[in-house]
Amino acid sequence: MAEHVYDLLIVGGGPAGAATAYWAAQAGLDVVFVERKVFPRDKTCGDGVPPRAVHQLEEMGLADELAKYHKFDGLRAIAHGRTLEMKWPDHEVFPSHGYVVRRYDLDAFVADNAVEAGATLLMGTEAVRPMTDANDQITGAVVLDKASDTEHEIRARYLVIADGANSRFGRALGTARDKSFPMGIAIRGYFESPLHDDPWIESSLDVRDRQGNAMPGYGWIFPVGNGTINVGIGLLSTFRDYKSINTSHLFEEFAYSLPEHWQIDPTSPIAPPTGGRLPMAGSVGPKAGPNWLVVGDAAGSVNPFNGEGIDYAYETGRLAAGLIAEAVARGDAEVLTRYPGMLDEEYGDYFRVASLFARIIGNPTLIRELTRVGMRSQPLMEWALRVMANLMREEDAGMAEATYRAISAVVRVLPDRLIHP
């Protein structure tokens, strides 16, 4: 009997992989996705599901599931002794709210949704290396069943690489991160708090180390709604001394400095804080091969403005699924060559502007002055929120969109060496 050959094998079952699996299965493809962990499982993240991600989840039929979790209406920014509360900007497509959902829950129900759509999920299964034929064409992957410690082969016509920020499988295919691009560093932990159901997520824009030095990044407090809050710090590699930063010490300092209204015990996190790295601005390439595509964090699809990656994971997964469905229908793998250009059209200018911003705020003195000026003006900060959350409007555009487009036009013609030195 001939060995089964799937239309699509997806390496990774997180946000990008599960979204790819869902949309490919919806298109009628024979899909298998493999995840080395077993859901539900924890994942280092701020747990925020911003409006762009909410839209994608609702498009996947998950509005009712999302509604079970804590909803937030906007952002409370704190810096230099000032506090501003800003509702999420209105938009013709994206909702004006978000949710806080622990990745322990979120990734599990998004993966389950893909299975209900018709995809096959193999958990506790790690894709260890690509399979190739005599012409060096990728024909699938050798996978390891971690429970039995046995290897077997999965054959597929197409592959999507969605195994996250470190993407071992992607590297085996030749992908690499361009180190001239910014990278994020994040650490988070959970604390008990009576304000676990606060309607605002909170951002501290004046993060300092133990010596009082300003840091290029921000601190967050996201109410989870289950008696706990998610507390974290995100930093950028554009800071000259970022490699010398002790993130554990910085996290501890931030926890001790939280505003009193959160009423936490900074000495008693629910579990030890965990951290990770965030490849940004589409910094990983190539993003496409003869019969494979790279999505989500594996493609470096994190927004340098704010460290969000989950919305771009869902979006790139959906885009990849659509292209592969078209390739299968036409019997033409050349369709996949359009993928890098489509990503560039969707995110290229925005990520260039965001990368330049990340480079500028790598100067601690400059970021301190920028936040000082911004916190004196609610309209200015609301403009910044719209841009940094990538919620610019196509219709009924206002000052935020006009200003962003003017900046984008200038940045588009700047030499790459000024954006990515």
Residue 227's CATH number: 3.30.70
Q: What is the spatial distance between Cα 217 and Cα 116, in angstroms, rounded to a whole number?
A: 39
Q: What is the spatial distance between Cα 249 and Cα 376, in angstroms, rounded to a whole number?
A: 30
Domain range holding 107? 6-71+101-179+283-347
pLDDT tier at 74, thresholds 50, 70, 90: very high
Q: Is a pLDDT exceeding 90 seen at residue 79?
A: yes
Q: What is the pLDDT of residues 155-210, one digit of tens each?
A: 999 999 999 999 999 999 999 999 999 999 999 999 999 999 999 999 999 988 88
Cβ atoms within 10 Å of 266's Cβ, excluding its own = 17
Query: Which residue is listed with tokens 């209406």?
Result: 73
Residue 191 is predicted with a pLDDT of 98
Indicate whether 213 and 294 sit together in one domain: no
Indicate whether 217 and 156 sit together in one domain: no
The CA–CA distances, whole Å, from 301 to 89, 174, 305 equal 22, 17, 12
Indicate whether 263 and 358 sit together in one domain: no
E strand map for 110-199:
120-123, 125-132, 138-145, 150-161, 176-177, 183-192
Helix (H, G, I), strand (E, B) or coil at 174: coil
Residue 4 is predicted with a pLDDT of 95
Indicate whether 26 and 149 sit together in one domain: yes
Residue 341 is predicted with a pLDDT of 98
Indicate whether 126 and 200 sit together in one domain: no
84 domain residue, yes or no: no
pLDDT tier at 2, thresholds 50, 70, 90: low
Helix (H, G, I), strand (E, B) or coil at 77: strand
CATH number where 22 lies: 3.50.50.60
Indicate whether 198 and 158 sit together in one domain: no
**Domain end (from 347, 363, 392):** 347
Q: What is the spatial distance between Cα 8 and Cα 158, in angstroms, rounded to a whole number?
A: 5
Q: What is the spatial distance between Cα 316 and Cα 116, in angstroms, rounded to a whole number?
A: 21
Q: What is the spatial distance between Cα 17 and Cα 291, in angstroms, rounded to a whole number?
A: 16
Domain count, the chain: 3
Please list the alpha-helical segments (H only) found in 206-338.
Answer: 247-257, 310-330
Torsion of CA 150, 163, 250, 102, to 10 degrees: -90
Q: What is the spatial distance between Cα 246 and Cα 209, in angstroms, rounded to a whole number?
A: 9
Q: Are 197 and 223 in contact (CB under 8 A)?
A: yes
Higher pLDDT, 367 or 56: 56
Residue 204 is predicted with a pLDDT of 96
79 domain residue, yes or no: no
260 domain residue, yes or no: yes
Residue 130 is predicted with a pLDDT of 98
**Domain end (from 231, 258, 279):** 279
Q: What is the spatial distance between Cα 256 and Cα 260, in angstroms, rounded to a whole number?
A: 10
pLDDT tier at 1, thresholds 50, 70, 90: very low
Q: What is the pLDDT of residues 273-324, one digit of tens each?
A: 999 999 999 999 999 999 999 999 999 999 999 999 999 999 999 999 999 9
Query: Is the bond preceding residue 194 a cis peptide, omega within 30 degrees?
Result: no
Per the DSSP assignment, residues forming a β-bridge with 79 are 82
**Range with the poorest average pLDDT among 13-22, 58-67, 127-136, 276-285:** 127-136
Indicate whether 119 and 30 sit together in one domain: yes
pLDDT tier at 21, thresholds 50, 70, 90: very high
Residues 84-112 have a mean pLDDT of 98
Indicate whether 188 and 320 sit together in one domain: no
Q: What are phi and psi of 58, to 5 degrees?
A: -65, -35
**Range with the poorest average pLDDT among 131-135, 203-207, 354-358, 379-383:** 131-135
Q: What is the spatial distance between Cα 292 and Cα 409, in angstroms, rounded to a whole number?
A: 32
Q: Is a pLDDT exceeding 50 seen at residue 244?
A: yes
| Average pLDDT across the chain, whole number | 95
Indicate whether 169 and 318 sit together in one domain: yes
Helix (H, G, I), strand (E, B) or coil at 150: strand
Q: What is the spatial distance between Cα 45 and Cα 75, in angstroms, rounded to a whole number?
A: 17
pLDDT tier at 239, thresholds 50, 70, 90: confident
Indicate whether 232 and 155 sit together in one domain: no
Residue 397 is predicted with a pLDDT of 78
Helix (H, G, I), strand (E, B) or coil at 207: coil
